[in-house]
Amino acid sequence: MNATRALGRYGEELATRLLTTAGLQILARNWRCGRTGEIDIVARDGDTLVMCEVKTRREGAFEHPMAAVTPRKAARLRRLAACWLDRHESPPGGGIRIDLVGIVLPRRGAPVVTHAQGVA
C-alpha cells in the first residue's frame, strides 16, 4: 500500500471513531457505485442518512482538507447518495445529509479532526 493510500485509510479510521463516538451508526465504508465513485462512510444519525467524505492531509499540505469539497465533488456526492437510495432504501424521514471530516496530521502531536455537517 502506498503512503497516500495509507494516509487515507488512517484518516477514515479516525473519522469512523469520531462519528461512532458522536452516536452515528456506520452502515458502510468505501461503498462504490459503478463509475460514479465511492462514498467513504455511509452512516445513520437518528433518522438521517449521512454520506461522509473524509479528507486527510499532512500539516503544511497545499490546501486544508475542508477546502476539498468543490461544487463538482458536491454534485458527485449527491449522485452517490441517490445511487445508495436506489440500491438500499427509500429516503429516510430525516432526509439525507452530506458531511465532511477533515483531518490534519501535524508533525508532532495529535491529529486535528474537524467534522462539518451538511456541506453539500
DSSP code for 73: H
pLDDT score recorded for residue 67: 82
Top-confidence residue, 62 or 4: 4
Residue for cell digits 500539516?
59
Give me the half-sphere count of Cα atoms (radius 13 Å) on the Cβ side of residue 10: 17
Q: Considering the entire predicted model, what is its pTM?
A: 0.90
- Cβ atoms of 47 and 25 within 8 Å: the answer is no
**What are the C-alpha distances in Å from 22 to residues 5, 15, 48?**
26, 10, 14
pLDDT score recorded for residue 28: 95
43-70 confidence digits (pLDDT tens)? 999 999 999 999 998 887 667 777 878 8
Q: What's the whole-number mean pLDDT along residues 61-87?
A: 85
Domains of the chain (ranges; CATH) run 3-116 (3.40.1350.10)
- Cβ atoms of 50 and 97 within 8 Å: the answer is yes
